[in-house]
Amino acid sequence: MSVRSAGAHGRKNHDQWILSSSILVALGWLATCDGHLDNKELARFTAIAESSGITNPNDIKALLSLAEYKDLEALDAACRVIRERCSGSNARLFMEMAIGMAIADGVLVTTENHLLRFFADLVGFSCQQFNSLFRDATGRPLPQPTDLSSRAYWAGVDADDENRKRSRQRSDEARNRADRVPEITEAYAILGLERGASKDEVKRAYRRLAQIHHPDRFSSLGDASVAAATSTFQRIKAAYDLLVKYA
Amino acid sequence: MRDLYTRLGVSHTASPEEIKMAIEKCANAGVKADAEAVLLNARAKPAYDRLNSFLGDVGTLRASLGLNHGAHWVASDTNDYTKEAASGRSEGMNAAKSSTPDRSKSKSKNEKVKPASGGVFSIVTRYWYPVLLIGAVAWALFQADWRQPEHEATAPQEPSFSEPVVPFPVTGTARYPDGAEGVAPLKIKTSPGSDYYVKLVEPPSDRPVMEVFVKGGTTVEVSAPLGSYEMRYATGKTWYGPEHFFGPETSYSKADQLFAFSRDYRGTSGYTVTLYTVQNGNLRTESLPRSQL
């Protein structure tokens, strides 16, 4: 990871700061757009902010609250900076970094899906480009955003709940044995694999994702992006380590 | 995803009773069934509300950043959240058809816009593909207005003025006094607090070609006739009808640049005018005697 050199000054430094803080605002929006910010997400965001020189917890809170309380003018301005500065090869890097952050937990929720699509339009990615980038960066196809305004969706949710309740009762005695099941499921999801994928597949998926999300690639986007990629990379590595050990 | 509130004709903050009543009255069977399953479902509603307001924000930003025609927006069926007047939208789409080969060019132009280097809070110029929108920001006069001490704004009204208050006319509906055809996009953004009566006047004859009312805090998109016009406006808090405008506290002003609405092979050019104080704004206004509005 790169560390900001204390002697850096002048225009370049200022430009870097503007890009970094704009990307932080965008990442804060990604982190808060699903309506809640859990401790894991907060810790991750804090680490990213700190690496780009923002260490005061109040400043970090302020950055997050721009998205949380929908300061649209700030988001608008941040988006303009990102559009301006993330053209060409940087556009691709920015999208890869954002995708890595969005599927932090192996799940892409609907708001994140819409937000990634918004970013894709912002930096000028076509549908085809974005779909293939998403597939490369996650190992799975980009899902359609869920339509929460349809009765069919909610009927499905209720049915799912019923099933889950029933299966939970059945598997009560199996719980001890299944202690690690959620973690393992999440680990497969982070690597973009189905449960029960072979060791070989796990290894291949890890190599591919590690290459894409390797922090060194993101240095041209500034410290915040490098830190975001680092966090994504660490998660991918942890998932891999877990699967190698237990699966 | 649809905005069920808009489709029912209720506000996003409507009470359960209001929602129930609107659902009963709803003529569209599909919307009715969906609204029942979502808005009257205690579990579904919070999740839906969150996504609904999130998409509203995304729509606002897309409109502001010129991304209404983005590939990923149309594809995800989000028409309900696209923030453009219907007329503006069809205009944009027509023009898009005629200038598709220019897409890349116009995009690169877009990227050359100066970044908001003042930090995260300044907004200046905006382009709206394929229509070039020049952000124009009224600032001098409103700065003066803004800085007015509170007590002046709340000073008791002149006793001689006792005209009845009239309901403020419908926001965003343009009228064309001499029957001109609205063609070019004009977007007017206002800040909350004061309402606006805006009109376009053809110099030097002073013939009004378009007028529109804008409730403070809203953004409207109207279609302006082709040509070069002056923009004049009156603003105030209480509307007393077209005779008295906003009463004795009306402030009358005009923008000190001409607005040229034109159409050529690149599309139709229009403007976004922001009627509040913005730092680094690029439009100044001057105060006007009432007789010249």
DSSP string, A179-240: TTHHHHHHHHHHTT--TT--HHHHHHHHHHHHHHT-GGGGGGG-HHHHHHHHHHHHHHHHHH
Higher pLDDT, B267 or B169: B169
3-state secondary structure of A18: helix
Q: Which of B36, B51, B113 sits opposite A110 (nearest CB)?
A: B51
If you compute the radius of gyration of chain A from its CA atoms, what whole number of angstroms results? Answer: 19
User: In this complex, do A84 and B115 lie within 8 Å of one another by their Cβ atoms?
Assistant: yes
Picking from A208-217, B40-49, B99-108, which range would have the lowest pLDDT averaged per residue? Answer: B99-108
Confidence of residue A184 (pLDDT cuts 50, 70, 90): confident
Closest CA to A100 of A37, A35, A40, A27: A27
- Residue A194 in tokens: 């189905």
Picking from A40-44, A79-83, A158-162, which range would have the lowest pLDDT averaged per residue? Answer: A158-162
Query: Are B186 and B221 spatial neighbours (Cβ–Cβ below 8 Å)?
Result: yes
Closest CA to A93 of A239, A231, A226: A226
User: Is B41 in the A-facing interface, judged by CB distances under 8 Å?
Assistant: yes
Q: CA angle at residue A57 from A51 to A62, to 5 degrees? A: 100
- How many CA atoms within 13 Å lie on the side-chain side of A204? 8
- Residue A82 in tokens: 């990102």
Q: Which of A77, A85, A151 sits opposite B120 (nearest CB)?
A: A77
pLDDT of A6 strictly over 80: no
B106-165 residues touching A, CB cutoff 8 A: 107, 110-111, 113-117, 119-123
Q: Which of B71, B76, B114 sits opposite A114 (nearest CB)?
A: B76
Query: In angstroms, rounded to a whole number, what is the distance separating the alpha carbons of residues A244 and A203?
Result: 9
Query: In angstroms, rounded to a whole number, what is the distance separating the alpha carbons of residues A133 and A142?
Result: 9
**What is the residue type of A48?**
I
Confidence of residue B52 (pLDDT cuts 50, 70, 90): very high
The mean predicted confidence, pLDDT, of chain A is 84
Whether the predicted model's global pTM rises above the 0.80 cut: no
User: Is B33 in the A-facing interface, judged by CB distances under 8 Å?
Assistant: yes
Task: Please give the full DSSP string across A54-81, using - where no structure is assigned.
Answer: ---HHHHHHHHHHHHTT-HHHHHHHHHH
Most confident stretch, B20-24, B122-126, B239-243: B20-24
Cβ burial of A32 (10 Å; 0-12, 13-18, 19+) is buried
Strands (E), chain B: 133-137, 184-190, 195-202, 207-214, 219-224, 227-236, 251-255, 259-264, 267-275, 285-287
User: In this complex, do B58 and A121 lie within 8 Å of one another by their Cβ atoms?
Assistant: no
Q: Which residues contact B192 (CB under 8 A, 6 or more apart)?
A: B216, B217
pLDDT of B14 strictly over 80: yes
Q: Which helix (H) or strand (E) holds A27?
A: helix A10-32
The per-residue pLDDT for B10 is: 92
The per-residue pLDDT for B164 is: 82
Q: In the 8-state DSSP scheme, what is residue A42?
A: H
List, for residues A37-60, the tens digit of each pLDDT value. 888 888 888 988 888 778 888 888
List, for residues A161-174, the tens digit of each pLDDT value. 777 777 666 555 45
Provide the shortest C-alpha distance from residue B4 to chain A (in Å): 7
Question: Would you mind telling me the total number of residues written for chain A in this entry?
Answer: 247
3-state secondary structure of B138: strand
**Region of residue B239 (phi > 0: left; psi between -120 and 50: alpha; otherwise: beta):** beta
Query: In angstroms, rounded to a whole number, what is the distance separating the alpha carbons of residues A245 and A147?
Result: 38
Number of other CB atoms surrounding residue A3 within 10 Å: 8
pLDDT of A154 strictly over 70: yes
Query: Are B19 and B8 spatial neighbours (Cβ–Cβ below 8 Å)?
Result: yes
Q: Which residues contact A99 (CB under 8 A, 6 or more apart)?
A: A116, A133, A134, A137, A138
Most confident stretch, A39-48, B36-45, B244-253: B36-45
Q: How far is CA A71 from CA A74, B63, B115, B166, in A?
A: 6, 16, 18, 34
In chain B, which residues have their Cβ closer than 8 Å to the Cβ of A145? 1, 76
- Residue A203 in tokens: 């290894």
ipTM of the complex: 0.85
